Amino acid sequence: MDSIAKLINSLTFQRFIIAVILVNAVILGAMATDVTPATMRLLHTLDLICLAIFVIEIALKFAVMRFSMFRDPWNVFDFIIVGIALLPASGPLSVLRALRVLRIMRLVTAIPSMRRVVTGMFAAIPGGASVAAVLFVMYYCAAIIAVKLFRDVSPQHFGDLGTTFFTLFKMMTLEGWPDIADDVIAKSPNAWIFFVTFIILTTFTTLNLLFGIIVDAMNQTREEEEQAELAEANLSEDPLQLAAAKLAVMEDELKAIRKLLEK
């Protein structure tokens, strides 16, 4: 078991799995194009080989970690993705076979930097929910005001509450908002005050606040990983290794602070 554990934790094995995932992504993309039947059979065979490699990887992890493997959410994600690909191609569950393309998402679990990004995004959900609530209140108030002011001026954009919500969303993304604004301002010259205020409060303020929460959560995730590495170095009881780990953490923190100050 020790040899198997060393194998699955080795850098070479992890790079091999990443390469298989990338190859499988190319194969799945090719299978979605118009190819000859012979080429399709070849692609299907290669896809099965990639799937077999993923199954072997999951089996090796289970052989080493047993049911403790499912304590790690990333292992659970890998298990579900591979399990979906093993569903029968016919019958009521055949629709789920279309989800085999999700195997490409295994890159997130295989590459630490991508995994850190996703972890930070999930960690930002509580704070992001508060920002989203504030943004919804702004939307709701702005939609009511826009309907009352511009319903008769531009009914195709502000005719009812639902249409107004969609128009405001397009304005927040800055997609075609000058055309909407010009159409209204041509009949209501003072309407620019509403449009400028709405874009400043949503696009340039609230959304940037949401992005800041996500970045902060990603930094916290990175700090937690660095603390875990520091704890492992502490367990080794090697003074030089411990000092080097502390110095690395301090350098990363200084770089993060410098980036924040520059922003």
**pLDDT by residue (tens digit) across 80-116?**
888 877 776 565 655 565 666 667 777 777 777 777 7
Looking at residue 134, its amino acid is: V
User: If we measure between CA atoms, which residue out of 74, 177, 59 comes closest to residue 122?
Assistant: 74
Whether residue 19 sits in one domain with residue 132: no
For 69, 84, 91, 175, 183, the CA distances from 76, given in Å and listed in that order, are 8, 12, 25, 39, 52
134 shares a domain with 90: no
Do residue 149 and residue 103 come from a single domain? Answer: no
Same domain, 79 and 153: no
Residue 120 counted as domain residue: no
Residues 69 and 142 in one domain: no
> What value, to the nearest 5°, has the Cα angle with vertex 90 and ends 86 and 95?
75
Express the helix, strand and coil content of the chain in percent, nearest 5 each.
Answer: 85, 0, 15
| CA gap 165, 163 in Å, rounded | 5
Domain holding 93, by residue range, is: 2-110
Burial of 94 (0-12, 13-18, 19+ CB in 10 A): exposed
Report the domain count for the chain: 2
This prediction's pTM: 0.55
Residues 6+ positions from 96 with CB-CB distance below 8 Å: 84, 87
The verdict on residue 118 lying in a domain is: no
- The whole-number pLDDT of residue 106 equals 75
| 85 and 143 housed in the same domain | no
Tell me the per-residue pLDDT of 19-58, one tens digit each, with 9 for 90 and over: 888 888 888 888 888 888 899 899 989 988 988 998 898 8
Polymer length of the chain? 263
144 and 87: one domain?
no
Chosen domain end from 110, 145, 165 = 110
Do 231 and 133 belong to one domain?
Answer: yes
Which of 10-14, 26-30, 142-146, 258-262 has the highest mean predicted lDDT (pLDDT)? Answer: 142-146
- In this prediction, residue 260 carries a pLDDT of 63
Confidence at residue 238, expressed as pLDDT on a 0 to 100 scale: 55
CATH code of residue 223: 1.10.287.70
